[in-house]
């Protein structure tokens, strides 16, 4: 059976979770706890040497990178529910959106998330405890991000990320006022991958994302949240045990 290692239904982890639920594929759910730094443990780095979730195990293969996992599921499991357009041009439109979320939208939202939550998580550690945690992180850029979260991100960086978030929200809303989904006439991985980042902004960035300012974006978020697969995912995945099951 497929095994998914994730932080549960939020951000990059939500992309393959939603894809699996939409396609109705059974899988073993392994939730890691970021507050316990479980993704930097030796047992998990034996699965993904980069120490990052999500990771999908399919038999002898490990597939990493959230968007790559979603395309893999479409390639390997051509279920009745297809989350990729049938035409080449539709696929290209989809990939422009999944690329944009990976290269732009997710990073600005992520930095503000780290500023708000991860900082508090690590400020309670002693210097020695913190250095031990950082030493276990295999990706240098992630080490830098943990240090910045502890020290506090520079204000000019936070301002710039907020500018990018406002631009991203405007871009999504402008498109979604005119179109039901990101790619014409079909719910695709473009919607799943952008929803994974956008959902929750009605609360966390309420001054930017609300029915008055961004009616297209809010309509689209609500429409996705009402999907049976999405409701099933939220109902089931939160209850999973932490840590791996062998």
Footprint on this chain of a copy of itself (rule: CB under 8 A): 58, 61, 63-65, 67-69, 71-72, 75-76, 88-89, 91-92, 95-96, 99, 102-103, 140, 167
Q: If DSSP codes are grouped into helix, strand and coil, which group holds residue 243?
A: coil
What is the 8-class DSSP label of residue 241? P
Pair of tokens at residue 122: 């690590």
Nearer residue to a copy of itself within complex by CB, 61 or 245: 61
Q: If DSSP codes are grouped into helix, strand and coil, which group holds residue 46?
A: coil
Nearer residue to a copy of itself within complex by CB, 170 or 180: 170
**Nearest distance in Å: CB 113, a copy of itself:** 19
**Nearest distance in Å: CB 93, a copy of itself:** 9
**Nearest distance in Å: CB 205, a copy of itself:** 19
Give the C-alpha separation, 16 to 29, whole Å: 11
Is the distance from CB of 51 to CB of 135 less than 8 angstroms? no
Nearer residue to a copy of itself within complex by CB, 37 or 85: 85
Nearer residue to a copy of itself within complex by CB, 112 or 121: 112
Nearer residue to a copy of itself within complex by CB, 23 or 91: 91
243 Cβ partners below 8 Å, 6+ apart?
30, 31, 32, 33, 38
Pair of tokens at residue 117: 């939550």
Give the C-alpha separation, 17 to 169, whole Å: 23
**Nearest distance in Å: CB 54, a copy of itself:** 13
**Nearest distance in Å: CB 88, a copy of itself:** 4
Q: Look at the block and give the residue holding tokens 């405007």.
A: 170
Is the distance from CB of 148 to CB of 142 less than 8 angstroms? no
**Nearest distance in Å: CB 68, a copy of itself:** 5
Nearer residue to a copy of itself within complex by CB, 42 or 103: 103
CA distances from 179 to 18, 172, 188, 213 (A): 21, 10, 13, 17
């Amino acid at each position: 059976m497929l095994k998914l290692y994730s932080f549960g239904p939020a951000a990059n982890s939500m992309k393959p979770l939603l894809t699996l639920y939409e396609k109705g594929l059974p899988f073993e759910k392994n939730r890691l706890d970021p507050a316990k730094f479980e993704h930097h443990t030796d047992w998990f780095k034996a699965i993904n040497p980069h120490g990052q979730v999500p990771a999908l195990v399919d038999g002898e293969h490990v597939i990493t990178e959230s968007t790559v996992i979603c395309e893999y599921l479409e390639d390997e499991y051509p279920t009745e529910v297809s989350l990729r357009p049938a035409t080449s041009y539709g696929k290209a439109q989809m990939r422009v959106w999944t690329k944009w979320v990976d290269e732009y939208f997710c990073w600005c939202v992520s930095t503000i998330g780290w500023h708000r939550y991860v900082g508090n998580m690590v400020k309670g550690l002693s210097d020695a405890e913190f250095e031990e945690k950082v030493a276990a992180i295999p990706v240098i850029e992630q080490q830098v991000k943990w240090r910045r979260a502890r020290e506090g991100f520079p204000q000019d960086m936070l301002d710039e990320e907020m500018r990018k978030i406002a631009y991203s929200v405007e871009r999504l809303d402008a498109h979604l006022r005119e179109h039901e989904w990101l790619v014409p006439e079909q719910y695709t991985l473009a919607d799943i991958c952008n929803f994974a980042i956008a959902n929750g902004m009605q609360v966390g960035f309420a001054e930017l994302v609300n029915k008055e300012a961004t009616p297209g974006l809010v309509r689209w978020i609500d429409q996705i949240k009402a999907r049976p697969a999405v409701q099933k995912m939220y109902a089931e995945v939160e209850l999973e045990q932490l840590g791996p099951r062998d």
